[in-house]
Amino acid sequence: MDGVLAIDIGNTHIKLGLYRQGRWINEWRLSTEIRRTADEYHLTMQGLMREAGITHVERVVLASVVPLLTPIFVRVARHVSGSNPLEITPPGYGLAIDYPAEMLGADRFVNALAAWQLMKRPVVVVDVGTTATVDAVADATFLGGAIAPGPHFLVQALAQGTARLPQVMPAIEAWAIGKTTQQAIQAGVGHGFVGMVRALIEETRSVIGATAPIVMTGGWATRIMPYLNLPVLVEPRLTLEGLRYAEEWHRRHQP
């Protein structure tokens, strides 16, 4: 099948998307399980593709922040395409970096690449999920950013670092003043997380431009956007789009 399979291997989830004829025709999400073997992931992928009526893809591009799973998905990619995948590592693909390459996660780089291609002007790139990253891109260059804990890490820290505080499900609720310990934790974590992300965005804009657009992705993006009181563009497929663009750039610039 003509098309490209994009694989984003994250700490919590593995996102996959099949792009063909100018649109994403299939998307899947798997749990990240480092104990699973290449054969297990291949069987899972085979089942998903068979259900979608797909037996083969032409090209695979992947980005991974889980080193133990990278070689496993390289093998999976060979199974479904018959060739080695394009593994994205910074810099390149039309985006320079002012940051140590060995320290820059592929997900942050790919998100920055997608946001730059989308805006073509200084832009704040936000990913809110397991962690929160707020990065700056200007003049086709990744400038750096901030990394902070996500909501689940925050509630875990409270529960594990104290004797009596319970672990609760993080959420952004209507109340700012909790009437129980559980509500107080949710208020502190939920609204505190919003405030942290807002402050990081504002600090980033103070450097690259007060009107720099904000592009946001990640599992918490739609949840925190209404509370930020900032003009935010939510792009759920930002990482997949960055992978697609990198693959297209690579093909155009092959010798």
Helix then strand count (H, E) for the chain reads 7, 11
Say which amino acid occupies 111. N
Say which amino acid occupies 41. Y
- Strands of 131-138's sheet, edge to edge? 96-97, 141-149, 131-138, 123-128, 214-217, 232-234
Binding-site residue positions for substrate? 105-108, 181
Binding-site residue positions for ATP? 8-15, 130
Annotation says 107 is catalytic? yes
Binding-site residue positions? 8-15, 105-108, 127, 130, 181
DSSP 102: G
CA-CA distance, 61 to 243, in Å (whole number)?
6
Which residue in 153, 185, 180 sits closest to 168, CA to CA?
185
CA-CA distance, 91 to 200, in Å (whole number)?
24
Is the alpha carbon torsion for 169, 174, 176, 178 positive or negative?
negative
Cβ-based neighbours of 36, under 8 Å, separated by 6 or more = 72
Binding-site residue positions for K(+)? 127
- Active-site annotation holder among 2, 107, 135, 139: 107
Query: Which residues are annotated as catalytic?
Result: 107
